[in-house]
Structure 1
Amino acid sequence: MPFARIDMKKGKDAAYRQQIGLAIYEAMLDVGVPKNDRFQVINEHDDANFMFDPTYLGIARDDDLVIIQITWNEGRTLDQKKALYRGIVDRLAKAPGIRGENVFISLVEVKKENWSFGNGIAQYAV
């Protein structure tokens, strides 16, 4: 079960934001996330609340930076994670046209029992 938090500067329209969400969801499907397991929050920030280094690790970022944090179950391989990163970047390049340098991804891995999808039940707890 992934949960994606997507952060960016204010100023993009709803279609742009929807394309980002869809690209991330499709890339997660490609690495084995179940169909319809789509939970995302997109947050927009003004300049004072969106800070980043424009050249950290020699990567040239600009104001179109998108920060993506995905919380999901632990246990995926390094190859799956790399495929996810590449899939997200490739899809975002196509639509809505975000440069790879402007895609920052962070994965947070948790145990399955740390989810409740509703009704106060830990559906994945064994």
Structure 2
Amino acid sequence: MPLVHISLRAGKSDAYRQAIFDSLYRAMRETFNVPEDDQFMTIREHDAANFRYGASYLGIARSDDLVLIQISVMNTRTVEQKKALFRRIAELLGEDPGVRPEDVFVNLVEGTKENWSLGNGLAQYA
């Protein structure tokens, strides 16, 4: 049950933002076995004054098209699955909407099953 928060510079089209949602969801389905209809994602847009990044940190040449992706998940995936997810996200975002791999920044935040409530005030996975 991933929860995805995406941040990017303001000014992209609705189609661009929807392509990000679609590509991320597809990557998670393919690599993390996310169930159908398990889509909980937001996009936040920022003007230039409120969006800062290391343009060359770790020797990666980033641009203003940087997409910051934070995915909260349960701590049930292997290192191999995580690497596959990162790779597949970069591939799919490259295809649609055309984000360069250098501009794909992903952070996984892991928690235990009992830390999730998906509605009705219940801990469905505890």
TM-score range, shorter chain: over 0.9
2:11 maps to 1:11:
yes
RMSD: 0.6
In structure 1, distance between residues paired with 2:28 and 2:76: 14
Name stretches of at least 5 consecutive residues in structure 1 with no aligned partner: none
Secondary structure of 2:42's match?
strand
Identity %: 54
TM-score, normalization: structure 1?
0.97
1:104 maps to which residue? 105
Secondary structure of 2:72's match?
strand
Name stretches of at least 5 consecutive residues in structure 2 with no aligned partner: none
Secondary structure of 1:109's match?
strand
Secondary structure of 2:68's match?
strand
Structure 1 segments of 4+ aligned residues over 2 angstroms from their partners = none
In structure 2, distance between residues paired with 1:76 and 1:15: 31
Aligned residues: 125
Which deviations, in whole Å up to 9, do the C-alpha atoms of 1:13-62 show, x marking residues without a partner? 11100000110000000121112111001000011111001000000000
